[in-house]
Structure 1
Amino acid sequence: MTTQSYIKDYPRPQFVRDNWTSLNGEWDFRFDDDDLGEQANWPQGLQADRRIRVPFTYETEASGICDPSFHPQVWYEKEIDLPAHVSEKRVLLHFQAVDYAAKVWINGRYVGMHKGGYAAFAFDITPYVTFGSSNRVTVKAEDSMDCAQPRGKQRWQKDSFECFYVQTTGIWQTVWLEYVEPTHMESVKITPDFDQRSVSFEYHVPGAGQAGQELQLKTVIRMKGKVVKTFSIDIDRAWMQMSVSLLHEANGPWKFIAWAPEHPNLFDVEFILYRQGVEIDRVLSYFGMRKISIENGKVLLNNAPIYQRLILDQGYWKDSHLTPPSEEAILEDIDWIFAMGYNGVRKHMKIEDQRFLYWCDVKGLLVWSEMAATFEFNDQAVESFKNEWVEIVRQNYNHPSIVTWVPFNESWGIPNVLRNKHQQQFTEAIYHLTKSIDPYRPVIVNDGWEHTVSDILTLHDYEEDGERFLLRYRDKEQVVGNRIAFNNLKYALAEGYGYRGQPIIISEYGGIAFQSDKGWGYGNQVGSEEAFLERFRSITEAIQAFDYISGYCYTQITDVQQEINGLLTEDRKPKVNLETIRKINLSSR
């Protein structure tokens, strides 16, 4: 475990400074269904009629409001004190996620706007604040039922239906302040090279190169407290890159250690920025030395084939919906996943809290990171999706646990991708755009069926009977040649695209539910634990029987509102014997 960068509840564990303040807790709150707030100048004083507990949305019980109805505009207000001793600093106001558009005022003055419900963002509010006194933060969140908006599993109708749940509106992840010098590091992109036993750092220091700066940046890499490498570079422009070997013996013999699920070793790294020899910024981070590649129809981790036993995780909690109720709740879910014999998670239709990704890095849980879908294809949807996806890939690039990017799922938002050239071109564009930022991870387009240029061929199949599953997949050439249909006449590839030897993974199956009139699962509901486990065994062992299938993803870890096909209930209680689930998962791999 990396300990250098860990601070409990710290919202951004990949880039840690010690001078920060959480703004979570009680805020004033007000609905604005008629969108009158800006015209009525609410940023000058909200005159709120209720309180809300941030970062939980008004739809949740955890917020203290628990109103599931849709309100398109909501307002927040909070008084914050800024101590006089930080008056020489810049004050950054961070939002880890606001759904969907956020407008921010400080002391009644407009600061800026951000669109995108799943990406983190920040504003420099220094010109708007008064140090040594109270300051008023006002936030307006604008949401919609527009299907061109990336929304994932959030409903776009009045009531929940099928696998779509109560919407998420407004602030749903941590809000916090950070105090930095006028010149500071904005980001560091870390790229390990497993084969060369080296790592490269791309530093972003806005303002570097200006007259009189004379900046130097020192990087210290440690493994388990021992210094592995130290080096310094002069920073004379905003973007700079440096690659270094980690086969270094300045501190005695050192054995190369990689990151993998069975030994999730992490290097701690410290970045120290100096101006004319005086320290002005210090950031703690970490990275894992690992490689994801594809060869001969297999996914390789560190040049060895890895069989991925994934479980679908939508990241919902009963009382807080998309927002993790606590860091302990994040850890509990990860521990359940390991206890059931899985080595990874497909984080479905959600970009998860960065603390979740941190703990996956620490504990060695593989992650497929999947974008929240739109449900229409038009110019607005294309632009909104592209902009937010780029933000997300860049923000989460450094996490070693993320081994696959999944921008599209089941043709959602691209409903005619089977034949429509415009929609096919859109998926190709997103694929290549993702690769331009991150050429080192597989990209799946589009998960489930009707693939275009996907690095992995993934199939969703909720067949209930193992024997029928064996018959369907016995001839690989029939599957990849679009001659086998599954899930209501879906095919593996979009028209005009051929199989290129990609690995094949059954990335959704199962979805077994007990008999109930309060929800649904996939296929026929079962009446007993014995029937549940026998069906689970039958279909899982059928998938495991095929050498050409490189893994699977079971649906799903927990019940979610009306969808009751979890191995755990919404409040994380096992529904069947999990040791039996574990043994089946580990039986042949």
Structure 2
Amino acid sequence: MSEQAPQPPMSPSSNTPLHPRPQLTRERWDDLGGVWGFAHDDGDLGMDERWFEREEVFGQTITVPFPPESVASGLRATGYHPVVWYRRTLTVADEDRAGRVLLHFGAVDYRARVWVNGRLVAEHEGGHTPFTADLTSVLVPGETQVVVVRAEDDPLDLAQPRGKQDWEEKPHAIWYHRTTGIWQPVWLEVVPRTHVETLRWTPDVDRGQLGLHLRLNRVGEQTLRVRVRLSLRGKRLADDTYTLEGREVRREIEIDPLRLRAERKDLVWSPRRPNLIDAQITLLDDDDNVLDEVGSYAGLRSVGVRDGRFQLNGQPYYLRLVLAQNYWPESHLAAPSEEALRREVELVKELGFNGVRIHQKVEDPRFLYWCDRLGVLVWGEMANAYVFTPEAQRRLTREWVEALERDYNHPCVVTWVPVNESWGVPNLEGDPAQRAFVRGLYELTKSLDPTRPAIGNDGWELVAGDILGVHDYSLDGETLRERYSSQEALEHTLRGVQPSRRNFYLAGHHRQGEPVMLTEFGGLSHAPGDSDRWWGYGTLPDTDALLARYEELLGAVLDSPVIAGFCYTQLTDTEQETNGLLREDRTSKLDPERVRAINTRVSRFLQHDVLQEIHALADERRLEQLRAERERETLAND
């Protein structure tokens, strides 16, 4: 067995495609993106007419994984089409049937059924989370295999977790064109009959351990062992072998305590130093034959809250986030390319933010990979429904659990937010059932992941949460200074002013030392040339005025002694919502260096932790390294 260090999902200087599931990779996988047959089914006739057995009904083509509403799909069909169908053929070598042939879907919005050769192989509900179909038993030897997908996405179903997707036919206010059907990668993978199904990494910085929970797809027919090799930049950290008990193994892998103490800054993950531990997992039988081998990675870091402050790796850390819709004009919720996902992360860093709040969307794992690798913190958020019904509660809870499981391993994810601004729970103050639901989501989140802070409902009407998120779209710095100038002013603002005209404290809730953050503010735009496509919280006449007001708002926030972090609205223009720092084509409205200088000013909140704050901000060298890395890639690719 080779002792070569395991490779990351994609070499940064390589043209090799990034694996669509970066936390559990195998060398062999086939991307099924590209041209598929396509059909709208506005009358919902396809099931009765057995379209999964027919070819002639697929009279159109679509480019997967782009939604049919988008230009990138080749269709741009933006009207109401609640049911759509896909069809394509593929070839599977007969020798591959000795193992298992798996068909993976990154995300299909909203309800999916999958047939292969006319036989149903998978059903899934949830527009942002993955699912897998095992095709092995339905493959026809020596034949071309036929895959058919039916996707149902009712635009008028407000109990469906839809996020910012508009229920009206045309986008209005802060809602956008819909994303129906397949919008994340589809890929085929051949795996051994017994194989690694899931991996879960839990870092413990204080104890110098990395927790591993590995699960197989089935109980082996003999005693199996798993070899775990961990390395950091090619240097070995651990090489251990464990015997499996049934389908699972749980271990705490020790990191050399002397090395951790001596090289802490080079081992621990942070935005300044995004150190990633590469992992190679090998499944072995009694005779040391390799049954399966997968690659993964982890970040050794801790997050939490204490004494009214957010903490990263046991030290106070000031959050400088930007709200990101991660929506592209040509492809909607789907990224137009792998490069676009990476570039989005780079833009966040270049503007001086240390994190991003993905808004009303469960983002593609490849985006989280680049946040892990380049060093950007992420607040993970669920796409919400718009009504409070038993069905809406079941749907959101089920999909949220799947999102938590999918993204648990990413060190970049530091906070969970299941509900935003009481979306889907419009009467939190008056309805005990709605409060119980939000409180239950918070408790469920903490039970599934006790390692991260969580906020039951972000923005207003605090029911339960480790952070008190405030949404305040005041348009001048003087108002923000007045509202957040002291603890007394803060309490008056929350109890008396109520910036969002909502009661922040519900059912007798009293603050228990939660950090207070402005998790939405700003939303500034300048007067656009096309007034029909404009929407923002405040309008400035030109870019000079926009920059001056931005500096005024950020200055007020950074001067506050009670604000523990912020999230500015927003990173990019998105359809008619033109309040981004960047245009929708990702070009800058403002001088990026000026924006960066504004964003990275030392905050008053951490004035007693000036050294820590300086360290958190001292990432200029890292930014230069990223730029140099990009230049080397460009030269190599040319």
TM-score w.r.t. the length of structure 2 is 0.89
For the residue of structure 2 that corresponds to 1:264, the secondary structure is coil
Displacement of 1:335: 1.4
Q: Which residue of the partner structure matches residue 235 of structure 1?
A: 244
Deviation by residue 1:492-533 (Cα, 9 ceiling, x = unmatched): 222321111100110111111111313334343111122111
1:338 aligns with 2:349: yes
Displacement of 1:418: 2.2
Residues 2 and 267 of structure 1 are in contact (CA less than 8 Å); yes or no, is this contact kept in structure 2?
Answer: no
Displacement of 1:302: 0.5
For the residue of structure 2 that corresponds to 1:82, the secondary structure is coil
Counterpart among 592, 617, 637 of residue 578 in structure 1: 592
Residues 484 and 563 of structure 2 are in contact (CA less than 8 Å); yes or no, is this contact kept in structure 1?
Answer: no
Range with greater deviation from structure 2 (474-483 or 556-565):
474-483
Counterpart among 505, 523, 528 of residue 517 in structure 2: 505
Counterpart among 119, 124, 148 of residue 129 in structure 2: 119
Q: Which residue of the partner structure matches residue 67 of structure 2?
A: 57
Q: Which residue of the partner structure matches residue 201 of structure 1?
A: 212
Residues 480 and 493 of structure 1 are in contact (CA less than 8 Å); yes or no, is this contact kept in structure 2?
Answer: no
1:383-462 equivalent positions in 2, closer than 5 A: 383-462=394-473
Larger fraction in helix: 2
1:24-63 equivalent positions in 2, closer than 5 A: 24-47=33-56, 48-63=58-73
Q: Which residue of the partner structure matches residue 4 of structure 1?
A: 8
Residues 70 and 167 of structure 1 are in contact (CA less than 8 Å); yes or no, is this contact kept in structure 2?
Answer: no
1:150-229 equivalent positions in 2, closer than 5 A: 150-208=161-219, 212-229=221-238
For the residue of structure 1 that corresponds to 2:193, the secondary structure is coil
Q: Which residue of the partner structure matches residue 71 of structure 1?
A: 81
Counterpart among 358, 362, 380 of residue 347 in structure 1: 358
Q: Which residue of the partner structure matches residue 494 of structure 1?
A: 506
C-alpha distance in 2 between matches for 1:201 and 1:287: 10
Q: Percent identity?
A: 39
Unaligned runs of 5+ in 2: 11-15, 604-638
Deviation by residue 1:332-389 (Cα, 9 ceiling, x = unmatched): 1111111111110000001111100000000010000110011000100000000000
Q: Which residue of the partner structure matches residue 580 of structure 2?
A: 566
Residues 480 and 499 of structure 1 are in contact (CA less than 8 Å); yes or no, is this contact kept in structure 2?
Answer: no
Question: In the alignment, residue 294 of structure 1 is paired with which amino acid?
Answer: V
1:96 aligns with 2:106: yes
Question: In the alignment, residue 9 of structure 2 is paired with which amino acid?
Answer: S
Residues 164 and 174 of structure 2 are in contact (CA less than 8 Å); yes or no, is this contact kept in structure 1?
Answer: yes
Residues 462 and 522 of structure 1 are in contact (CA less than 8 Å); yes or no, is this contact kept in structure 2?
Answer: no
Q: Which residue of the partner structure matches residue 534 of structure 1?
A: 548
For the residue of structure 2 that corresponds to 1:202, the secondary structure is strand
For the residue of structure 1 that corresponds to 2:593, the secondary structure is helix
C-alpha distance in 2 between matches for 1:391 and 1:218: 28
Question: In the alignment, residue 287 of structure 1 is paired with which amino acid?
Answer: A
For the residue of structure 2 that corresponds to 1:35, the secondary structure is coil
For the residue of structure 1 that corresponds to 2:588, the secondary structure is coil
Deviation by residue 1:511-560 (Cα, 9 ceiling, x = unmatched): 11111313334343111122111111111111111122111111111110
TM-score w.r.t. the length of structure 1 is 0.97
Counterpart among 271, 285, 298 of residue 275 in structure 1: 285
For the residue of structure 2 that corresponds to 1:352, the secondary structure is coil
1:378 aligns with 2:389: yes
1:142 aligns with 2:152: yes
C-alpha distance in 1 between matches for 2:556 and 2:170: 37
Question: In the alignment, residue 17 of structure 1 is paired with which amino acid?
Answer: R
Residues 228 and 248 of structure 1 are in contact (CA less than 8 Å); yes or no, is this contact kept in structure 2?
Answer: no
Displacement of 1:480: 4.0
For the residue of structure 1 that corresponds to 2:526, the secondary structure is coil
Counterpart among 521, 524, 527 of residue 515 in structure 1: 527
- Root mean square deviation of aligned Cα: 1.8
Deviation by residue 1:299-350 (Cα, 9 ceiling, x = unmatched): 0100111111100000101100111111111121111111111110000001
Question: CA, structure 1 residues 2+577, in 2 after alignment: closer, same or farther (shift >3 Å)?
Answer: farther
Counterpart among 17, 23, 27 of residue 26 in structure 2: 17
Displacement of 1:488: 4.4
Question: In the alignment, residue 527 of structure 1 is paired with which amino acid?
Answer: P
C-alpha distance in 1 between matches for 2:542 and 2:453: 39
For the residue of structure 1 that corresponds to 2:506, the secondary structure is coil
Deviation by residue 1:271-302 (Cα, 9 ceiling, x = unmatched): 10012221111010000000001110000100
Counterpart among 353, 373, 380 of residue 369 in structure 1: 380
Residues 4 and 284 of structure 1 are in contact (CA less than 8 Å); yes or no, is this contact kept in structure 2?
Answer: yes
Question: CA, structure 1 residues 73+194, in 2 after alignment: closer, same or farther (shift >3 Å)?
Answer: same
Residues 485 and 562 of structure 2 are in contact (CA less than 8 Å); yes or no, is this contact kept in structure 1?
Answer: no
For the residue of structure 2 that corresponds to 1:46, the secondary structure is coil
Displacement of 1:38: 1.1
Residues 114 and 121 of structure 2 are in contact (CA less than 8 Å); yes or no, is this contact kept in structure 1?
Answer: yes
1:302 aligns with 2:308: no
